[in-house]
Chains A and B, each alone.
Chain A
Amino acid sequence: MKIAFSTSGNDLNAPLDTRFGRAAKFLVYDTETQAFTLVDNTQNMSAAQGAGIQAAQNVAAAGAQAVVSGHCGPKAFRMLSTANIKVYTSNAATVAEALSQFQAGALTELTAANVDGHWA
């Protein structure tokens, strides 16, 4: 399966970004091939609104079946649920650490947004 991690860096040692919608990019890790690709999300960093919605579209388009980030707001959560993408939160420092938490089954799946929306 493919897991999307929010990050500001370019590899597994990069920091895990606690923000979902306004993360600079997503590292999409494929557990079968153990390879990853990077998905740009920078168009959202200065978006006036709707960053979470667009970020969810980006990870869905990348074929991710799971998202690991720090937080997930209501609109992003509604998008990800519609796309059947599971959302996990982690306070890991790096993507690699979050990945091992995920693979160890140490992350809990969100059943609702864990932060309020920034708009309305």
Chain B
Amino acid sequence: MGTGRNRMIIAVASGKGGTGKTTVAANLARVRGDVTLLDCDVEEPNVHLFISGEPQGEPEVVSLLVPEVDESRCDGCAACSNFCAFKALAVLDKRVLVFAEMCHGCGGCARVCPQGAIREVPKRVGVVETMGADGVTVVQGRLDVGVAMAPPLVRAVKAHIPKTGDAILDAPPGTSCPVVATLRETDFVVLVTEPTPFGLNDLKLAVEVVRELGLPFGVVVNRADSSDDRVATYCREASIPILAEIPDDRRVAEAYSRGELMVDALPEYRPLFEQLYTDIVRLLQNPLIAGVARASCPCFMGGTPMPRGALQGPHC
């Protein structure tokens, strides 16, 4: 499956937790093969429960540079604390207090200090581990216990995206900084949701994030049944393609609870994931979605991919 580019980066995300991001990401990787699967949910990586394999090399320790103040040079001018947007430094009675756990590692405090009293020292935040199994390379970040700063570790995981060859990213749940760090500079986002009021509410939040980032995306509905069509209605009205529907099948949950991949335990689901991959490639081959189409084209609808068959423009 060529995309005309030398690699394709697909992120699997969702607003709501527990909708099936890892299920979609891991099964997609399995049917694709020869792919790097990156677990960017560094607070709770779980891809390894389904695809693990032999560790490749030692875990890579990831650190963040945080300020250390030389009190003999500091005159308490508060330039650093005034600069810091995250309250990682505070000045009281001409004394600087450092709250390293708040630091995002931008290095600004050291640059603005007129006394040169601040140097940056590494503070460990977690590790990146690489494993390989059956053509799928799994890279996962694991944040240290007690550390709240996930984005730097997410970026360290993403540094393992290969220069050539496809990559699939399993994003953290939600719509906050670790998710944005995961989604940035990907080619396509699969938003996994479920047909419930909570699934729909959080899908809408995720759609806002993905649109803000200007990324092409589509939706996968997991645990689909016919009782609640609000997600389908929303997607239709917002011109968001539903790429796949995974049925509400108890056997899928049973396989999951045993740590088995759906496509291994229930091979009849293989075509669903193969088709999903094919559809993503097809959407990305569309010049509109690839970012070369113009807004004057009749198929242009706010930059979001149109449902299959709905693209009518001259270059579609």
A residues whose Cβ falls under 8 Å from a Cβ of B: 47-50, 53-54, 56-57, 60, 75, 78-79, 82-83, 119-120
Decide if B61 is an interface residue (CB 8 Å cutoff). Answer: no
What is the CB-to-nearest-CB distance from A109 to chain B, in angstroms, rounded to a whole number? 19
Which residues of B (66-103) have their CB < 8 Å from a CB of A? 86-88, 90, 92-93, 95, 97, 99, 101-102
A110 to B184 alpha-carbon distance, docked (Å) = 45
Q: Which residue of A lies closest to B104 (CB)?
A: A49
A53-B87, A75-B99 known; A120 vs B147 contact (CB < 8 Å): yes
Chain B interface (Cβ < 8 Å from any Cβ of A): 86-88, 90, 92-93, 95, 97, 99, 101-102, 146-149
Residues of A within 8 A of B149 (CB): 120
7 closest residue pairs by CB, A with B: A50-B87, A120-B101, A120-B148, A53-B87, A83-B92, A53-B90, A82-B92
Chain A residue nearest to B95 in the complex (CB):
A82
- Say which residue of A47, A49, A53, A82 sits within 8 Å of B93 (CB atoms): A82
Report B-chain residues with C-beta under 8 Å of the C-beta of A79.
90, 92, 97
Question: Which B-chain residue is minimally distant from A83 (CB atoms)?
Answer: B92
Main secondary structure of the interface of B (DSSP, over half): loop
Q: Would A53 and B99 be within 8 Å (CB), given that A79-B90, A120-B146 are in contact?
A: yes
B102 touches A50 (CB 8 A): yes
For the complex formed, measure the closest distance between the CB of A41 and the CB atoms of chain B, giving whole angstroms: 14
A50 to B99, CA, bound (A): 9
Looking at the assembled complex, report how far the CB atom of A40 sits from the nearest CB atom of chain B, in whole angstroms. 17
| Contact indicator B148/A119 (Cβ below 8 Å) | yes
Q: Give Cα A44 to B230, complex, Å.
A: 38
Other A-B contacts than A53-B102, A54-B87, A120-B149, 6 sampled, CB-CB below 8 A, are A49-B86, A50-B86, A50-B88, A56-B92, A57-B90, A82-B97
Of the A-B pairs whose beta carbons lie under 8 Å apart in the complex, a sample of 22, sorted by A's number, is A49-B102, A50-B86, A50-B87, A50-B88, A50-B99, A50-B102, A53-B90, A53-B99, A54-B90, A57-B90, A57-B92, A60-B92, A60-B93, A75-B99, A75-B102, A78-B97, A79-B92, A79-B97, A82-B92, A82-B95, A119-B148, A120-B147
Chain A residue with minimal CB distance to B101? Answer: A120
Tell me, in angstroms, the Cα distance from A60 to B78 when the chains sit together: 15
Q: In the assembled complex, which residues on chain B have CB atoms less than 8 Å from the CB atom of A119?
A: 101-102, 148
Known: A53-B99, A120-B146. A83 touches B93 (CB 8 A): yes
